[in-house]
Chains A and B, each alone.
Chain A
């Protein structure tokens, strides 16, 4: 019988990106004994890759900004499917969370009067993103990491969670193994926070790291929690498309915020061709006005390059399909043109976008101060996730919380850039606080030893089958191809039905994976666990996308190309039925209080 190393906590946080670390810090501050489990080394989570900035209505650059505008922008961006309570709390609490980061050592770029500087971003009415050049995520995760290590949290690095454990219907902790030696671990806990990030690895072209295999979502689903909004997968409009080995790697929206423009192979600035009615009032009608906006003119409206991500991604897709794409299947994103408008543009670009300059120089041998980049859509972010209570972040399983990308609600049908980093700290903090409260109010848990042994036996099965079994890397690759081709930016019923069949077959193959070698840092073995989770999220995305018969936000249905007001009344909620089948249903939105409705009306 496999042995387990045992650890005991009040609050167990799974995931050590921005949300997980913020939750752990908060739970620790509330007096809880905190354990953190993460799949990579500390400080390597996907947060490190976030570039543009953190959205918060500090009003340092434009004093017309406040939480009400931020709230309305977020709801509009999410096409009103957002959990309005989360959007409200997020807009109200983000400024405080940014100031908190500064108090812990984060060093944001400054205004001339010494305040935190803010930049323009897609979907935000005013310059709202506090930033550090274009490496804001690194600044945030390092700040949280360096502050966190002095708070007493115990970090279990490079561990994979196999299963969440229940005591009756209540959460009781988790079990998993460490990558280094493959030793099984048990972390019992009175409350668990899932902060495991997204699902981008289910697709072939993605900006996400290897870790983004939907582990938290699959773990929660298996433990009985509900998932929501799974059809809304954000394709970031600008990933690198060349060279092929870097395809998918993100090019920050900050490039467009600083004046970068999108052009097709004919040199046309095509974003002016199709501006949605919802945004007509707020969008520049000339190149001249758009430029003035990016340079801080308060009387100018934003250029169409800064429309929401779903829209920009689809416009790029349209240009490529119409044969007006760049040589490698994208379009051109040009920041170098600003030399026509400003002296010393080279230094300006290097100072404002140092990480992009470096990335293109190193990986594509291209100088962005002199030449345009080739970009195209890349799978970037999951708006959907674990359904949680807007205030406490608790899921439908008592004691199980979720925060950050793993949780659904804040972003509705489409996330605005910059709202992710603020989501992490606002709801990481809330999840940590309420998890500690839950742990305080509830007694110790009992672990079901049989459940532990079942999880360990299942995890070891690929070794029993040996190298003759299915190659897990190949299954992962086939799943990514399936999702990319059949459940991507443009969706249609027949293709999604094909995808469901394919996922079914791949799941069967995934049960026959075989592994050579031993349990020591065996990447092949780790992949067998990841693909099990990827199957769950891929099926959930596809089923939700099939059910939502309309186009809204990140979901574009070729067979239902219009937005349908009837569908605007529902979220799609997924749960596991008693017989293990995936149940998909419409769930009516909670009515919005009148005062919030009024805010939205006023901001139109």
Chain B
């Protein structure tokens, strides 16, 4: 049974904008992205929205729904109170291009500053490696990341303090962790994590982990172990003593 619901969608561009209300029919099983598409097709053909897979696999349709950073394709309308307007707005940590679309290119530039994967020499004569499943699994958690950048959006260092030039944010810390803990990797990124990427700015509020649509344990499994590596190297008094000696 279709029932009408109101969606309060932010419309505008880098110069400014405002919320506009659209009422459309919603049916059982719909997600927020379905409603946005219906509004786009019937009422607002130039409404700007990104999407690709509609199955939580590509991370394109990131937005803020009723104040919570979310994927529009994975937010079921049955989980929202439709007696009130559903507020849909673009991510706040990135500059708006238009409507629900933000300029996330900074994430792609920042990624290039992280040293790339560098494998050890192959284990076997045929050029292949031997890796145990248990060693793979730890990193596979990080490699589930769909680069939706919701964790970047919610990170207060980026969102409130705009430290994009100094801090790579949770997504790229997860990426660094995936490389650092990769069973084949031989590169050393610890110095960069401290000096260039300022991992110290993260004060472990776990907001990023809470919004991750892939349920990656960003804080506990990725960031804290990286912080420990930095601490081990630079702040362990015994190791400092050895370095001086």
Contact = CB atoms under 8 A, between A and B. Distances in A.
A344 interface: no
Contacts of B45: 467, 471-473, 515-517, 523-524
Contact of A41 (B60, B112, B182): B60
Contacts of B48: 520-523
Interface stretch (B81-89, B94-102, B156-164): B94-102
Nearest to A250: B55
Interface in A135-177: 135, 138-139, 142, 146-147, 149-150, 155, 157
Interface in B145-190: 146-147, 179, 182-185
Interface string B12-31: 01000000000000011111
Interface residues of A, number: 70
A224 B57 CA distance: 36
A516 B51 contact: no
Contacts of A110: 131-133, 136
A105 interface: yes
A515 B47 CA distance: 11
Given A180-B97, A473-B40, A520-B97, A132 B143 contact: yes
Contact of B59 (A44, A209, A472, A517): A44
A474 interface: yes
Contacts of A48: 52-53, 57-58, 146
A109 B133 contact: yes
A104 interface: yes
B111 interface: yes
Contacts, number: 170
Contacts of A210: 51-52
A135 B50 CA distance: 22
Interface in A206-230: 209-211
Nearest to B109: A149
Contacts of A132: 140, 143
B74 A135 contact: no
B108 interface: yes
Given A105-B182, A147-B116, A521 B57 contact: no
Given A114-B130, A245-B31, A138 B146 contact: yes
A45 B49 CA distance: 16
Contacts of B104: 41
Contact of A109 (B29, B59, B98, B136): B136
B128 interface: yes
Interface of A: 40-46, 48-49, 99, 102-105, 107-110, 112-117, 132-133, 135, 138-139, 142, 146-147, 149-150, 155, 157, 180, 209-211, 242-246, 249-250, 355, 358-359, 362-365, 467, 471-474, 477, 515-518, 520-525
Given A40-B52, A108-B136, A518-B46, 17 more contacts: A41-B108, A43-B147, A44-B58, A46-B53, A107-B143, A107-B182, A110-B136, A112-B133, A114-B131, A146-B111, A149-B112, A180-B103, A209-B51, A209-B52, A245-B30, A473-B40, A522-B48
14 contacts: A40-B50, A41-B50, A42-B108, A46-B53, A49-B55, A105-B184, A107-B140, A107-B183, A114-B132, A138-B143, A209-B54, A246-B31, A515-B45, A516-B46
Interface of B: 13, 27-31, 34, 40-42, 45-60, 74, 76, 97-99, 101, 103-105, 108, 111-112, 116-117, 119, 127-133, 136, 139-140, 143-144, 146-147, 179, 182-185
